[in-house]
Structure 1
Amino acid sequence: MRFIYQSGGPGSLLAMIVFLALLLLFFVVLPANIAAHAAEGLGLTPVQGILLLVAMVLSRGVEFTLYRSERLVRDVVRPDMPLSAFMRMQGMAPPEEEMFGDELVPQTFAVGVGGLLLPLGMSLVFLGRVAALPGALAWTGAAVALAAVVCFAATTYRPGMAPKLPVFMPPVCAALTAFMLPSQGFTASAAFAAAVLGPVLGSGVAPLLVPRLRARVDAPRVVLGGEGFFWGVFFGCIVAGLVA
């Protein structure tokens, strides 16, 4: 049996060109335009804003270990995947117990570059620019505290996994801050700080300080600013610039 390829002619070529143009528009031009507008709201040039976001994405997998505790937890040999709980209910995934191995390993804590260190550094830069404005640091502190409380309440816990924050929470924190502090010279800086520090404090640090929740955090490796809420912080940074 022979398969003969027949070209669709000019119509197929035109459709392919339109398809590639749409891909370029939605995945390159539009994100770059949004990033440029967000950068202007934060007092950056469009190029600086795009470079910041690109640097966050490229460094999101870079982590530095801070501390290795004496607490022993079960080793995770089969990491849980999205929708695993639903798939287990349908009998389409192995039981939760099969995630864990037989060995106990020391629990370690690390920080992510793209999800914590880089946005945290930029947040300090932005706050330094507006620190002299009346009430800037006080209102920013209040916004960060409120964001931390909201993120703490929205955090969920799964066996063998680090605390998880819904991806939409940091952008919500940034939008709430902009709503609380409209037309202020430090609105963008406060919204950026709320989108970064709120999730880190509320979803990363606070659960480790509450004994009842600390016992539920049994992941072998807990990364502040890791995969659990990187994309939330990433989009929160963008929203902070847009809403300002």
Structure 2
Amino acid sequence: MVGALARVLLIGLAWASLALPGGASAQARDVVVFAAASLKNALDDAAAVWMRDTGRRVVASYAASNALAKQIEAGAPADIFFSADPDWMDYAASKGLIRPESRISLLGNSLVLIAPKESAMQVELKPGFDLAALLGSQRLAMGHVNAVPAGKYGKAALEHLGAWAGVRDKVAQTENVRAALLLVSRGEAPLGVVYKTDAISDPNVAIVATFPEGSHPPIVYPVALTKDSAHPDAAALLAFLRSDKARPFFEKQGFTLLNKAGSGS
């Protein structure tokens, strides 16, 4: 709870720094990207190369897609919104917060069941599997199942496999998928449902099973320019993220590229 409060305060301070008089110059200097937490490793690496090659600057803010969409709606100064599911991009579009012509479904992902790395657990994700028995008296780490994309996908998959009813009261719901990953990485939860890309990023967890693709809606990451962005470099950064130059950074983390265009700048 204290950690969550600290993150909220840090986000508030970041907003304040951009809203203060000095923040205007920061906005002119930096392209601000609001991106789903699961994108952190890949996007950090891609942004570092773009900054090196162009001499321009990027600041990325990572959180759950639902939180980011709400922050943009509240006036947070973002230039690019990179969501972990189409629903929250649709929400942003319905509120007139993005430039629809710039929107593209860029990445795909997989959903996995993870355990601490020392776990010897063997799991076969098939209809009727008894996840509740595997958990015993412990809890399953997941993003919030009504808001966080990874949590929504996870709930859909567990419902499809007939396991949700047995574990719905045993779920430790987190504010984003990386928080769920951390619970398992620290050994505070014996199992968690996260994206494959999250599991790859943490050497302290092991993938014990991958959810069948047909058990949940396709995992799609759309990205778009925000309507209010006036940054001259925002479109160039978006073009780079779609380009062959950025592709290896996403593939290294386990993403699949759904769409790309050109070589970027």
Q: TM-score range by the shorter chain?
A: under 0.3
* TM-score normalised by length of structure 2: 0.26
Give the structure with the larger helix fraction.
1
TM-score normalised by length of structure 1: 0.28
Higher strand fraction: Structure 1 or Structure 2?
A: 2
